[in-house]
Amino acid sequence: MSDDQLAIPSVYMRGGTSRALFFKVSELPASQARRDAIFCAALGTPDPYGRQLDGMGGGISSLSKIAIIGPSTHPDADIDYTFAQVPIDTPIVQYKGNCGNISSAVGPYAVDEGLVKATGAAATVRIHNTNTGKVIVARFPLVNGRAAVQGNCVLPGVAGAGAPVRLSFLEPGGAVTGKLIPTGARAEHLALEEEWPAVEVSIIDAANPVVMLRANAIGLTGGETPAELDADKRALRYCEAIRRAAAVRIGIAKDLEDARSRVRNLPQVALLSSPSSEDCHLRVRVMSTGQPHRATPLTGGMCVAAAIQIEGTVAHAVAKRPDGEDVAIEHPSGVLLVGAKVVEKDGSPQVSETSVYRTARRLMAGEVYVPAASIKAEERAA
């Protein structure tokens, strides 16, 4: 390490279709401002060229993530996990909501780092996600006391196969807003900025809040590729206007400017259409942080799966009815299978659990270097 760079212990992991830098809370400064400055510099944010070439990020939202792991503060969990989303062009760190894909790497990380003791053929790790206050249960095979890597689980969007990680999100309703249906309306017409006409949406908060609408409501087919969506500037602006209005509507942003400048990752925007395959129940294209996802984000997929089973929502109206709890969601990289347990109680829907299989793998371990010049002197002070 030279005098003009800071070296911070870190592990670089893939979880599902995302990647993140993992840090132990004990190896980070206590100051939130100092931590945020480290995270941005480590990933290469801000980058006006959109590539994060001077950091570990990959220029798209699914590759610009942070996970912070520490001792559990929850009586029914083994560890605490805090997720952070870092935009590519703006030096802010967002802690609202969780990432389901990165959640799949938390259990294997905790076992491999010795934070959770595990023996035998499989491990069960109970994870307290501090962003949402919810508990996630990760189950995965072991090889010689470490998380297994080899396996036959194939994940659309990820080359090859790996050992399965089963994730169960317990009582995921109201993860960010405190309510499964934050506005009380299963479907409503959302008023937008003057440039854009209102559109019918459903805003559901299960694992993460998602604003769902028919793709054809904004002039799309729902079958567009991520590249086609990325090139359609009108559609991008329309989706962003919907996201901002929904953020204000559910109270996670105080006004449209707050949604534009501070709350940039939530809610996710899900464009729904009928599936092209008889084996699927719904076709989905998801937008977040202003970008189309190559694969449906895990939390977004779980939220959509729950919404399909809530009568009166846009998702329920567009989707084919699943026979049971398992929902097959068609997305640009393949099919996402999600289990969602939804029941009506006293006239209100409740989601007891959502579950899905992912794979995860440790990619690198060591120290990430952060240019000292990118962090203010007071942020570097011990």
The predicted-structure confidence for 7-21, as pLDDT tens digits, reads as follows 999 999 999 999 999
Kindly report the average pLDDT of the chain as a whole number: 94
What gap in Å lies between CA 84 and CA 247, rounded to an integer?
18
β partners of residue 22: 11, 67
Statement: residue 379 has pLDDT above 60: no
pLDDT of residue 3: 76
Cα 113–chain centre separation? 23
pLDDT digits (tens, 9 = 90+) for 225-257: 999 999 999 999 999 999 999 999 999 999 999
pLDDT digits (tens, 9 = 90+) for 319-377: 998 888 889 999 999 999 999 999 888 889 999 999 999 999 999 999 999 998 887 64
**pTM confidence score:** 0.85
pLDDT digits (tens, 9 = 90+) for 31-86: 999 999 999 999 999 999 999 999 999 999 999 999 999 999 999 999 999 999 99
As given in the structure block, the two tokens for residue 224 are 């567009």
Cα 235–chain centre separation? 22
Tokens 């969990």 belong to 77
Vertex 300, ends 296 and 302: CA angle to 5°? 105
Statement: residue 380 has pLDDT above 60: no
pLDDT-derived band at 89, boundaries 50, 70, 90 = very high
pLDDT of residue 381: 42
Statement: residue 305 has pLDDT above 60: yes
pLDDT over 70, % of the chain: 98
Q: What mean pLDDT do residues 179-190 have?
A: 97
DSSP secondary structure letter of residue 264 = -
Please name the residues in contact with 310: beta carbons below 8 A apart, sequence gap of 6 or more: 181, 186, 204, 316, 342, 349
CATH architecture of the domain 188-350 equals: Roll (3.10)
What gap in Å lies between CA 57 and CA 44, rounded to an integer?
6
List the domain boundaries for the chain. Answer: 5-164+360-380, 188-350
pLDDT of residue 378: 43
Identical fold for domains 5-164+360-380 and 188-350, yes or no, is: yes
pLDDT-derived band at 288, boundaries 50, 70, 90 = confident
β partners of residue 369: 7
pLDDT of residue 253: 95
Q: What mean pLDDT do residues 305-317 have?
A: 96
**Can you list the positions of beta strands (E) in 72-195?**
79-85, 122-129, 134-143, 146-147, 153-154, 161-162, 165-170, 188-190
Q: What mean pLDDT do residues 145-174 have?
A: 95
CB 84 within 8 Å of CB 69 = no
5-164+360-380 under CATH 3.10.400.10, yes or no:
no
SS3 32: helix
Q: What mean pLDDT do residues 279-295 have?
A: 92
Q: What mean pLDDT do residues 279-308 have?
A: 93
